[in-house]
């Protein structure tokens, strides 16, 4: 079954390819909770080696693996530091507070990235009246920050600063491999100063579900206990892990095509009156653009585009997000540009309500 429209709402909408479905069908399974699912064990070892870490634990979703990381590092009453656009703080249903009793300190950032100057002076003093600054979280690529890959030297600088100041570090690497392809570095290089890393398989890698938390033996011990506590106990999960193994072997390098398609989409939008976009800002598979307020708002344009055969998401009052992925071809990207132009020309200001939700979160 295929979508009756061009679906650029998120890279989470991808469907398993024929090769991935075959891998799922042939997966060898066991009981993961007792450590006897051979495909899950293979995946965990594979990702740990890829990131040059000691261990890994398979999880149901990126939110779950992020929250496992938070709990592995923090105690109730601690605080984590994170960019103001960070997914962990903004789009995980209050998870740090609800699941671990941890508060989030949001720091002003540039394109979702922090630097040492942004962090200096932000740590809490050692005082019984104050919570303890315990963890620094970074996101690569940045989602709401514009889909930007971190420069490797900035990642190194921030991670080294965190450790020098007694903080643990966690990377929300939901789109880590997009960052690696765009930034020209390896996953191990990108995460060498991160104590734990969460990676999603259900986005650009094209899997139906799944995520993973990677780190030291000790951190993954506590992460695995958190997975159980959070309701993430898995049994014959090799059928899902097999999709992730297939994706890691086949779907990383091809992300360059998604990035090229995203840039082509942005370049096409430059020619649409009333749409504001800078193609130079597009560095991965996420494209953020704005509609002139005189023409309408983002929700109205998303709804009109949906009526014309394109699904995208509003990410602000006049800001929209489009996402390229392995199920969107170059021809469909060019069609999407035409649909945006036609939708604007038809007029969007009279519409109300939303067919796509208030924010493209994933």
Residue range 291-336, pLDDT digits in tens: 999 999 999 999 999 999 999 999 999 999 999 999 999 999 999 9
Contacts for 215 with CB less than 8 Å, ≥ 6 apart: 53, 54, 55, 56, 69, 72, 194, 195, 196, 197, 223
Cα–Cα distances in angstroms (integers) from residue 132 to residues 82, 88, 119, 197, in the given order: 14, 18, 15, 22
Give the DSSP letter of residue 11. G
Q: What is the pLDDT of residues 221-256, one digit of tens each?
A: 999 999 999 999 999 999 999 999 999 999 999 999
Q: Do the Cβ atoms of 252 and 205 come closer than 8 Å? A: yes
- pLDDT score for 217: 98
Could you tell me which of 148, 159, 214 has the C-alpha nearest to residue 183? 148
- pLDDT score for 349: 76
Mean pLDDT of the chain, nearest integer? 95
How many Cα atoms occupy the beta-carbon half-sphere of 349 within 13 Å?
Answer: 8
| Percent above pLDDT 70 for the chain | 96
Per-residue pLDDT, averaged over 336-360, amounts to: 74
Cα–Cα distance measured from residue 26 to residue 106, given in angstroms and rounded to the nearest whole number: 45
**CATH 3.40.640.10 residue spans of the chain:** 18-250
Compute φ and ψ for 286, nearest 5 degrees.
-110, 135
Pairing of strands 133-139, 103-107: unpaired
**CATH 3.90.1150.10 residue spans of the chain:** 254-345
Could you tell me which of 83, 54, 58 has the C-alpha nearest to residue 68? 58
Per-residue pLDDT, averaged over 165-179, amounts to: 98
Cα–Cα distance measured from residue 343 to residue 331, given in angstroms and rounded to the nearest whole number: 18
Q: What is the pLDDT of residues 43-100, one digit of tens each?
A: 999 999 999 999 999 999 999 999 999 999 999 999 999 999 999 999 999 999 999 9
Cα–Cα distance measured from residue 265 to residue 30, given in angstroms and rounded to the nearest whole number: 44
Confirm or reject CATH 3.90.1150.10 for domain 254-345, answering yes or no.
Answer: yes
- Virtual CA dihedral for 93, 359, 205, 186, nearest 10 degrees? -80
357 pLDDT more than 70: no
Per-residue pLDDT, averaged over 142-165, amounts to: 98
Cα–Cα distances in angstroms (integers) from residue 337 to residues 91, 288, 315, in the given order: 28, 13, 18
Residue 2: pLDDT band with limits 50, 70, 90? low
3 state SS of 243: helix
Could you tell me which of 278, 325, 351 has the C-alpha nearest to residue 10? 325
355 pLDDT more than 80: no
Cα–Cα distances in angstroms (integers) from residue 205 to residues 27, 56, 242, 253, in the given order: 18, 18, 13, 10
- pLDDT score for 228: 97
- pLDDT score for 348: 85
Structure tokens at 264: 């082509």
358 pLDDT more than 50: no
Radius of gyration of the chain (CA): 21
Cα–Cα distance measured from residue 300 to residue 285, given in angstroms and rounded to the nearest whole number: 23
Cα–Cα distance measured from residue 276 to residue 267, given in angstroms and rounded to the nearest whole number: 11
What is the chain's length? Answer: 362
Cα–Cα distances in angstroms (integers) from residue 18 to residues 21, 25, 257, 339, in the given order: 5, 11, 19, 29
1 pLDDT more than 70: no
Question: CATH: 1.10.8.60, 3.40.50.2000, 3.40.50.1220, 3.40.640.10. Which one for 18-250?
Answer: 3.40.640.10
Cα–Cα distance measured from residue 214 to residue 58, given in angstroms and rounded to the nearest whole number: 9
192 pLDDT more than 90: yes
- pLDDT score for 4: 76
CA 125 to chain centre: 32
Residue 354: pLDDT band with limits 50, 70, 90? very low
Q: Do the Cβ atoms of 20 and 27 come closer than 8 Å? A: no
- pLDDT score for 362: 81
- pLDDT score for 360: 53
């Amino acid at each position: 079954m295929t979508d009756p429209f061009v679906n650029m709402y998120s890279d989470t909408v991808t469907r398993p390819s024929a090769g991935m479905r075959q891998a799922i069908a042939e997966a060898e399974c066991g009981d993961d909770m007792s450590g006897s699912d051979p495909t899950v064990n293979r995946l965990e070892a594979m990702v740990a080696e890829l990131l040059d870490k000691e261990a890994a634990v398979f999880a149901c979703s990126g939110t779950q693996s992020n929250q496992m990381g938070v709990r592995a590092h923090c105690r109730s009453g601690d605080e984590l530091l994170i960019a103001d656009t960070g997914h962990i703080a903004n789009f995980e249903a209050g998870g740090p507070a609800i699941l671990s009793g941890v508060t989030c300190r949001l720091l002003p950032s540039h394109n979702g990235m922090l630097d040492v100057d942004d962090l200096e002076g932000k740590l809490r003093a050692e005082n019984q009246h104050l919570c303890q600054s315990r963890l620094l979280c970074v996101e690569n690529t940045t989602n709401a920050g514009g889909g930007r890959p971190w420069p490797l030297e900035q990642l190194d600088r921030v991670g080294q600063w965190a450790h020098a100041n007694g903080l643990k570090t966690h990377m929300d690497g939901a789109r880590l491999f997009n960052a690696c392809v765009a930034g020209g570095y390896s996953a191990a290089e990108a995460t060498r100063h991160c104590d734990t890393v969460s990676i999603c398989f259900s986005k650009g890698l094209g899997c139906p579900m799944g995520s993973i938390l990677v780190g030291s033996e000790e951190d993954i011990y506590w992460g695995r206990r958190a997975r159980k506590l959070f309701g993430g106990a898995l049994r014959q999960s090799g059928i899902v892990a097999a999709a992730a193994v297939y994706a890691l072997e086949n779907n990383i390098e091809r992300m360059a095509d998604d990035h090229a398609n995203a840039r082509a989409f942005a370049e096409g939008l430059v020619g649409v009156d009333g749409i504001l976009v800078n193609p130079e800002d597009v560095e991965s598979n996420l494209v953020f653009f704005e509609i002139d307020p005189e023409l309408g708002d983002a929700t109205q344009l998303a709804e009109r585009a949906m009526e014309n055969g394109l699904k995208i998401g509003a990410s602000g009052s006049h800001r929209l997000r489009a996402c390229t992925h392995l199920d969107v071809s170059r021809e469909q990207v060019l069609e999407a540009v035409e649909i945006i132009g036609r939708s604007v020309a038809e007029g969007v200001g009279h519409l109300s309500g939303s067919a796509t939700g208030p924010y493209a979160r994933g």
